[in-house]
Amino acid sequence: MDKDIDFYFDFASPYSYFAAPRLEKIAAAHGRRVRWLPVLVTAMCEATGSPLAPLVQLKWQYVQRDLARSAHAEGLSFRVPPGFPSLLLAPARAMLWIRRAHDDKTATAFARTCLRAYFGDGVDINDAQVLTGIGAALGVDRQALLAGMADSAIKAEFRDATSHAPAKGAFGVPFVIADGEPFWGADRLGQLDTWLGRIRELA
C-alpha cells in the first residue's frame, strides 16, 4: 500500500471544501488514501507574512465571484456562510479528538459533513451543539466529544499541527503533499492527478 496523501485544510476555507471531493476521487483512482489534516490557516499566514485574500478588500470582491464560479465548476452547492471569514477552532479540535477516541474514518466523515454543512448550508460549525449533533450521527457520544474538544492535549495537538505544517512544506490551504511533492490550491488537483499517474508508471 502506498503512503497516504496528506491534505492540509482549514474548516473555514471554502477552497478546502471545493478541493476535498475531487481530491478523494483522484486519490481513489490511483489506489491512494487521503489523510485529512486540519490547520488554522490564519496562523500559518501570519507566520509566513502573507495576508489572506479574503482579508484584502480589493481581493475579497474578486474572491466572492471566484467562489461562486469555482463551486459551480465542482458541482457543489455553496453560499458565503454568515460571519465569514471566521476562526474555526472548535470543529478542528473535535475532529482531532474523534480521530483519537474513535478512528480516522469517523474523523474524516465528521470533517466532510462539517464542510458541507458550513459552506453548502450556512450552518454554524463553531457551535458546540451543532458539532455534537454531527458527531452523534456518526456514533460519537455528545458529552465525551464536548469534553474532548476542551481537552488541553487536543488544543495543543491542533496548535502544533498548524505550527509544524510550514516545516513540512505547507504554507496555505488547501495543500496536498503526495510522497513529498507539494500541491497548493484546489486548482492544482489536475497536476496532482498527472503526477500520481507518472509515479504509478515508474513503480
Q: Which positions lie near a copy of itself, rule CB under 8 A?
A: 48-51, 56, 58-59, 61-62, 65-66, 69-70, 73, 166, 169, 171, 181-182, 184-185, 187-188, 190-191, 194-195
Asked whether the beta carbons of 82 and 120 are under 8 A apart, the reply is no
Helix ranges, the chain (H): 14-29, 41-48, 57-74, 90-101, 104-115, 121, 128-137, 142-150, 152-164, 189-202
Residue (67 or 98) nearer to a copy of itself, CB: 67
CB of 103 to a copy of itself, least distance (A): 32
Residue (51 or 82) nearer to a copy of itself, CB: 51
CB of 127 to a copy of itself, least distance (A): 33
Report the C-alpha gap between 60 and 39 in whole angstroms: 22
Residue (112 or 168) nearer to a copy of itself, CB: 168
CB of 171 to a copy of itself, least distance (A): 5
Between β-strands 5-9 and 34-38, what pairing exists: parallel, antiparallel or unpaired?
parallel
CB of 191 to a copy of itself, least distance (A): 5
The distance of Cα 131 from the centroid of its chain, to the nearest Å, equals 16
Residue (25 or 69) nearer to a copy of itself, CB: 69
CB of 62 to a copy of itself, least distance (A): 5
Residue (37 or 71) nearer to a copy of itself, CB: 71
Residue in 2, 62, 63 with CA at minimum distance from that of residue 27: 2
Residue (133 or 182) nearer to a copy of itself, CB: 182
Q: For cell 457543489, what's the residue?
A: 76
Asked whether the beta carbons of 15 and 174 are under 8 A apart, the reply is yes
Sign of the Cα pseudo-torsion (96, 157, 187, 189, in order): negative
CB of 8 to a copy of itself, least distance (A): 13
